[in-house]
């Protein structure tokens, strides 16, 4: 007697999605609608119905964690402890299996090596060196991102389409050709090659394509909205024979175009696969109705979407809160205040702050450190522990304290000054043996001609700069201005500007945020003391912590309470996204807002500031256009929206906001000081 108990726990639409087994199926699964349950129940149903064996089912995910979770749930449904499903895995893990078997078809041996990102960078650096390309001006990371973009489009070097006028990409194409040749010489490939080579094998060997396509009676794909062009093509080739492909996802949560994801794969699914059945999972098991109605109303402003309306059988819940603040600092204070009150009834682990850009966490971190509110950064590093921030602080410390050997060791060759590890060790040993600081030891070794010419030149450069910066400090230069000069004189800021990639752009934003933070301190000593306390503070005394992360990092997560600060034009939607992608960029930003709101189970609090330090300058802010798109009937605004006195507020006046705060956290902080 077959056991279909898992069907009893499904709603009507979920059950329909599980039991429809004839032809292409697109499951439009809204946030919190139980898509994983549907996907795993469908696999179980295929097996128990005798439609396919475990070897005839291909189930593709984006992460190993998701693949393991899928297998675990299938085992639970089938009431089995062990069960072999060889074709459950990520795109890459499945492609590795195929490629090992048919490696010779793409001039590889079966025992080929998969190079990681570090190896890719090393290989590209060597190629750039041989081609006399300055990696100080063009980052290998940037070149790698361009090559990945081409591979995601299914382009080998001979297929790349370029404008003849684009000389930079012409140079990159030459590197790409050499890069691919080198990989073949090494009997190696990178992660993007795994799918690219499989496509080549399938296109050049129809018999191989037919073998796999015939074998996979059912294909299931999770998070289909995140697929890129080549992944979609790969799935299409594998489904040629049986046509039983089921893709699950949510076009309203497509937020990874910067990784190559193409939403049109989802929107045009019915054009790619004839006779497609579309099933919408609209019943939400996560959030209150007011949260869902707010999110649904917002996302309805997007034109490019399949369309759905989320609902719940649960309670309406609280209205979505909308707060306005005078500036970013005031916003951090206000959020901290609210968390102090909420933590009486909610575990801190169930409270999250979702920001558009990672630099925004700084003001919240500062505030939480001050009042003793424990926090963690999800998917990132705490502000004062980020590499570029530690570099800046090290520069300031060695200028302020010439005996700070650790700081000098950190920045002595940052940016590169031809001072290698061997030279640094020699200076360190000499200084230690003679009782000198590292800086004095370096000076003595230069005087005694104990340093080789090339590193000697670099050492003289940094030592002269340190002397100049100390003179500026003695002449009462502000600590903010001093750091700006240090970054310019050392070449540090230029290094970040020259290497054009997302990582370096984020680093520059973080440094600008650091300069903003420094303005809150009277002098360099007080700022450095603050940093020392912030980085040494042990926050593990309490297991509960508030979660800080970007909205991108929050996808797939859920929390009782979600704060969404910084809803201002230029910041969110992000100006760069609109400038580069126009309307499609705006729609993706709106989808990101939708993702942010739908992370909340019980309470969502959106806020914006009327004045914010952004990109190195104070700016009068306008509320995000998304604020205007939120439905009035589901929003509760704070008093500042209707208080006309705010219109006369002078953004330039110097106000000590701390004096106005009387939250529990503030009281606790004051007691610490006494």
The predicted-structure confidence for 520-563, as pLDDT tens digits, reads as follows 888 998 898 888 877 765 545 457 999 999 999 999 899 999 99
At residue 600, the pLDDT reads 97
Whether 176 has a pLDDT exceeding 80, the answer reads yes
Check if 509 is active-site: no
Of 189-203, 219-233, 418-432, minimum mean pLDDT range: 418-432
Q: Give the mean pLDDT of 141-169.
A: 87
Whether 662 has a pLDDT exceeding 90, the answer reads no
With beta carbons less than 8 A apart as the criterion, state whether 634 and 318 touch.
Answer: no
Residues 56-79 as b or e (16 or more Cβ within 10 Å = b): bbbbbbbeeebbeebbebbbebbe
pLDDT in tens, 582-620: 999 999 999 999 999 999 999 999 999 988 876 556 677
Q: Give the mean pLDDT of 166-170.
A: 80
How many CB atoms neighbour CB 87 within 10 A? 18
Non-local CB neighbours of 274 within 8 Å, separated by 6+ positions: 24
Non-local CB neighbours of 557 within 8 Å, separated by 6+ positions: 352, 378, 599
Check if 654 is active-site: no
**Secondary structure (3-state) at 504:** helix
CA dist., res. 660 & res. 674, Å (int): 19
**Secondary structure (3-state) at 15:** helix
Q: Which of 370, 555, 599, 602 is catalytic?
A: 599
CA dist., res. 432 & res. 448, Å (int): 17
CA dist., res. 298 & res. 627, Å (int): 9
CA 520 to chain centre: 29
At residue 500, the pLDDT reads 65
Residues 649-663 as b or e (16 or more Cβ within 10 Å = b): eeeeeeeeeeeebeb
Whether 80 has a pLDDT exceeding 90, the answer reads no
Sorting pLDDT into bands at 50, 70 and 90, what band is 5?
confident
Whether 471 has a pLDDT exceeding 90, the answer reads yes
At residue 663, the pLDDT reads 46
With beta carbons less than 8 A apart as the criterion, state whether 548 and 377 touch.
Answer: yes
Check if 222 is active-site: yes
At residue 81, the pLDDT reads 67
Percent of the chain residues topping a pLDDT of 70:
91
Q: Which of 190, 193, 222, 513 is catalytic?
A: 222
| 131 or 302, greater pLDDT | 302
**Structure-block tokens of residue 194:** 């795994």
The DSSP-derived string for 246-302 is EEEE-GGG---GGGT--THHHHTHHHHSTT-EEEEE-B-SSS-HHHHHHHHHHHTT-
CA dist., res. 220 & res. 59, Å (int): 5
Kind and range of the H or E run holding 75: helix 64-77
Q: Which of 190, 223, 252, 587 is catalytic?
A: 223
With beta carbons less than 8 A apart as the criterion, state whether 54 and 81 touch.
Answer: no
Q: Give the mean pLDDT of 59-78.
A: 88
At residue 660, the pLDDT reads 40
CA dist., res. 329 & res. 649, Å (int): 16
Rg (CA), the chain: 28
Q: Give the mean pLDDT of 446-459.
A: 91
At residue 586, the pLDDT reads 96
At residue 169, the pLDDT reads 82
pLDDT in tens, 140-149: 888 898 999 9
**Structure-block tokens of residue 580:** 């580069």
pLDDT in tens, 396-445: 999 999 988 989 999 999 998 989 899 999 998 999 899 899 999 999 99
Of 182-196, 205-219, 498-512, minimum mean pLDDT range: 498-512
Q: Give the mean pLDDT of 633-644.
A: 72
CA dist., res. 268 & res. 4, Å (int): 33
**Structure-block tokens of residue 161:** 């389409």
Non-local CB neighbours of 276 within 8 Å, separated by 6+ positions: 23, 24, 25, 26, 269, 270
Check if 223 is active-site: yes
Phi, psi torsion values for 189, nearest 5 degrees: -150, 160
Alpha carbon distances (Å) from 422 to 325, 419, 429, 451, 651: 53, 8, 11, 11, 53
At residue 355, the pLDDT reads 96
Query: Average per-residue pLDDT in the chain?
Result: 88
CA dist., res. 298 & res. 290, Å (int): 12
CA dist., res. 60 & res. 588, Å (int): 24
At residue 485, the pLDDT reads 94
Q: Which of 15, 16, 19, 36 is catalytic?
A: 36
Sorting pLDDT into bands at 50, 70 and 90, what band is 137?
confident
At residue 655, the pLDDT reads 35
**Structure-block tokens of residue 133:** 């390309």
Which residues is 574 bridged to in the sheet?
Answer: 570, 571
CA dist., res. 342 & res. 120, Å (int): 47
At residue 4, the pLDDT reads 72
Instruction: Please count the CA atoms within 13 angstroms of the CA of 551 that sit on its side-chain side.
Output: 29
Check if 599 is active-site: yes
Sorting pLDDT into bands at 50, 70 and 90, what band is 647?
very low
Tokens 């992608």 sit on residue: 581
Sorting pLDDT into bands at 50, 70 and 90, what band is 167?
confident
| 504 or 102, greater pLDDT | 102
Q: Which of 253, 288, 361, 550 is catalytic?
A: 253
Check if 36 is active-site: yes
Q: Which of 13, 14, 35, 388 is catalytic?
A: 35
Non-local CB neighbours of 183 within 8 Å, separated by 6+ positions: 115, 123, 189, 190, 193
Whether 203 has a pLDDT exceeding 90, the answer reads yes
The model's pTM:
0.81
How many CB atoms neighbour CB 122 within 10 A? 12
Preceding peptide of 17 cis, ω within 30°: no
At residue 536, the pLDDT reads 62
Burial (CB count within 10 angstroms: exposed 0-12, middle 13-18, buried 19+), residue 303: exposed
At residue 243, the pLDDT reads 93
At residue 162, the pLDDT reads 84
């Amino acid at each position: 007697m077959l056991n279909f108990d898992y069907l009893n726990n499904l709603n009507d639409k979920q059950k329909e999605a599980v039991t429809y087994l004839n032809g292409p199926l697109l499951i439009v699964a809204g946030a919190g609608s139980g898509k994983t349950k549907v996907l795993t129940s469908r696999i179980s149903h295929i097996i128990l119905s005798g439609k396919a064996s475990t070897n005839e089912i291909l189930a593709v995910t984006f992460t190993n964690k998701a693949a393991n979770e899928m297998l675990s749930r299938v085992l639970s449904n089938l009431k089995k402890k062990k069960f072999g499903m060889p074709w459950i895995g990520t795109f890459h893990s499945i492609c590795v299996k195929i490629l090992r078997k048919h490696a010779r078809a793409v001039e590889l041996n079966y025992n080929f090596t998969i190079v990681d990102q570090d190896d890719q960078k090393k290989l590209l650096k060597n190629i750039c060196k041989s081609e006399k390309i300055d990696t100080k001006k063009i980052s290998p990371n940037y070149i790698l991102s361009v090559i990945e973009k081409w591979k995601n489009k299914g382009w080998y070097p001979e297929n790349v389409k370029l404008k003849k006028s684009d000389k930079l990409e012409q140079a990159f194409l030459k590197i790409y050709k050499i890069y691919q040749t080198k990989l073949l010489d090494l009997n190696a490939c990178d992660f993007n090659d795994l799918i690219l080579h499989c496509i080549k094998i399938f296109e050049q060997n129809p018999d191989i394509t037919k073998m796999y396509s015939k074998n996979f009676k059912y294909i299931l794909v999770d998070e289909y909205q995140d697929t890129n062009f080549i992944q979609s093509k790969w799935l299409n080739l594998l489904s040629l024979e049986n046509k039983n492909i089921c893709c699950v996802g949510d076009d309203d949560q497509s937020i990874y175009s910067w990784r190559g994801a193409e939403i049109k794969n989802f929107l045009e699914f019915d054009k790619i696969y004839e006779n497609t059945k579309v099933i919408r999972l609209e019943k939400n098991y996560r959030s209150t109705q007011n949260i869902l109605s707010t999110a649904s109303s917002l996302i309805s402003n997007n034109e490019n979407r399949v369309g759905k309306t989320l609902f719940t059988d649960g309670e309406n819940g609280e209205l979505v809160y909308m707060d306005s603040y005078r500036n970013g600092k005031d916003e951090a204070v206000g959020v901290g205040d609210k968390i102090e009150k909420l933590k009486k009834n909610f575990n801190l682990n169930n409270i999250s702050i979702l920001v558009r850009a990672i630099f925004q966490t700084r003001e919240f971190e500062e505030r939480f450190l001050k009042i003793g509110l424990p926090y963690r950064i999800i998917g990132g590093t705490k502000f004062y522990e980020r590499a570029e921030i530690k570099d800046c602080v090290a520069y300031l410390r060695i200028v302020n304290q010439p005996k700070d050997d650790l700081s000098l060791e950190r920045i002595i060759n940052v940016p590169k000054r031809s001072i290698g590890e061997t030279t640094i060790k020699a200076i360190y040993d000499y200084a230690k043996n003679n009782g000198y600081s590292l800086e004095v030891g370096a000076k003595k070794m230069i005087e005694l001609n104990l340093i080789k010419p090339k590193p000697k030149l670099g050492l003289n450069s940094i030592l002269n700069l340190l002397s100049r910066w100390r003179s500026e400090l003695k002449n009462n230069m502000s600590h903010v201005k001093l750091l700006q000069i240090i970054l310019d004189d050392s070449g540090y800021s230029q290094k970040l500007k020259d290497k054009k990639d997302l990582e370096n752009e984020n680093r520059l934003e973080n440094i600008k945020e650091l300069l903003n933070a420094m303005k809150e301190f009277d002098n360099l000593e007080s700022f450095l003391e603050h940093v020392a306390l912030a980085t040494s503070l042990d926050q593990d005394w309490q297991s509960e912590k508030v979660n800080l992360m970007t909205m991108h990092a929050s996808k797939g997560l859920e929390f009782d309470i979600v704060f969404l600060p910084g809803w201002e034009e230029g910041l969110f939607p992000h100006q760069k996204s609109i400038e580069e992608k126009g309307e499609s960029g705006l729609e993706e930003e709106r989808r990101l807002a939708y993702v942010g709101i739908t992370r909340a189970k019980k309470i969502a609090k959106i806020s914006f500031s009327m004045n914010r330090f952004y990109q190195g300058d104070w700016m009068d802010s306008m509320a995000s256009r998304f604020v205007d798109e939120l439905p009035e009937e589901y929003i509760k605004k704070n008093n500042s929206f209707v208080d006309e006195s705010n219109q006369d507020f002078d953004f330039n006046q110097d106000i000590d906001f701390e004096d106005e705060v009387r939250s529990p956290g503030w009281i606790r902080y004051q007691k610490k000081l006494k």
